[in-house]
Amino acid sequence: MSLLVTDQGEVHFEAHGRGRPVILLHGWLESWDHWLGLMEAFAGGYKTYALDFWGFGESGKHVSAFTVPDYVGMVDQFMERLGIESAALVGHSMGGTVSLSLALDRPSRVDSIVVVGSPIAGDGLALIPRLAASRPLAGLAWATPGSILLIARLMAPLLAQDRDGWYHMFERDLGWATSESFHRSVASLRVTDLRPGLGTIRVPTLGVYGRRDRIVSPRQGDMLKRHLSTADVRFFERSGHFPMLDEPKRFYETVRSFLTRCAGESRRADEDRRPYEAGRKDQVNA
């Protein structure tokens, strides 16, 4: 287990592999190990960093920074502390919204983006996260955690193909969350709307959405493509909100192919830039 101290609190993360940096960001009521399979699949050629957002997993709980902008600042501080100038970002659900927000606020940090079942606008959230965005309803639910687990157990067959595996992860992750992180993170997500700025993003972007998603409307993928015309959006017909769990092999191959293509384009851009920079240097020296 690795801990990094930021201005607001500790950030727990796990790193794996060697190569180009890839930062993995989980969704609401999740933790870093939703990415464990991808980290193992990417060990050759990439160094992956999977973070726990404040209030979730094993990151700091005694903070008040649980909004999307707070998490953007957290990722920025994380990269600064580890000396990572820029990286590819892969975010699931809320983590993808944070990834796009980082590209808008601090574009030099981001080489490429993969969003997985991520809301572009808060109205793309389904009923349950919308209810949790309400302070009174969230407080009532948190006071009776058994009811949250019962709803999760009943909905598990609709949320993931491996319903038992997903439920056990959810049960554990819910135990790590706090009442404030439970409510404030999704309340922030509910009022987020990235549409006005998406067209200014210049880095390669991939969207992966499950057609059977019951947490975030798959139409958010269409919205991403509509407002960021350069985005490559893929729909997984047999996946729900967790394509990395429902169709892992296809998911890993899709993301790896995208990142490999981005790396190749980056190398070609560097090679094209070198003669130009050399010519400018010669002119200065002359």
φ/ψ of residue 122, rounded to 5: -60, -20
H helix runs in 10-86, sequence order: 36-41, 68-82
Pairing relation of β-strands 2-5 and 87-92?
unpaired
pLDDT over 50 (residue 39)? yes
Q: How far apart are the first and last CA of the chain?
A: 54
DSSP state at residue 56: S
* Number of neighbours of residue 126 by Cβ within 10 angstroms: 14
Predicted confidence band of residue 278 (pLDDT cuts 50, 70, 90): very low
Predicted TM-score (pTM) of the model is 0.92
φ/ψ of residue 235, rounded to 5: -110, 125
Predicted confidence band of residue 1 (pLDDT cuts 50, 70, 90): confident
Amino acid letter, 11: V
Task: For residues 49 and 35, give the distance between their C-alpha atoms in angstroms, rounded to a whole number.
Answer: 10
Spatial CB neighbours of 276, under 8 Å, sequence gap ≥ 6: none
Pairing relation of β-strands 110-116 and 205-210?
parallel
Q: Are 49 and 20 in contact (CB under 8 A)?
A: no
pLDDT more than 90, % of the chain:
87
In this prediction, residue 276 carries a pLDDT of: 42
Distances (CA, A) of 208 to 2, 128, 136, 219, 241: 29, 22, 33, 11, 10
Spatial CB neighbours of 39, under 8 Å, sequence gap ≥ 6: 14, 16, 17, 24, 48, 50
Predicted confidence band of residue 273 (pLDDT cuts 50, 70, 90): very low
* Number of neighbours of residue 157 by Cβ within 10 angstroms: 13
How confident is the model over 170-194, as a mean pLDDT?
97
DSSP state at residue 124: G
Residue with tokens 């067959």: 157
Spatial CB neighbours of 116, under 8 Å, sequence gap ≥ 6: 90, 91, 92, 93, 95, 96, 207, 208, 209, 243, 244, 251
Spatial CB neighbours of 181, under 8 Å, sequence gap ≥ 6: 53, 54, 55, 56, 61, 66
- pLDDT per residue over 50-68, tens digit each? 999 999 999 999 888 999 9
Average pLDDT of the chain is 93
Spatial CB neighbours of 86, under 8 Å, sequence gap ≥ 6: 79, 108, 109, 110, 111
Ordered structural domains, the chain, with CATH: 2-285 (3.40.50.1820)
Cβ-count burial 181-200 (b if 16+ within 10 Å, e if not): bbbbbbbbbbebebeeebee
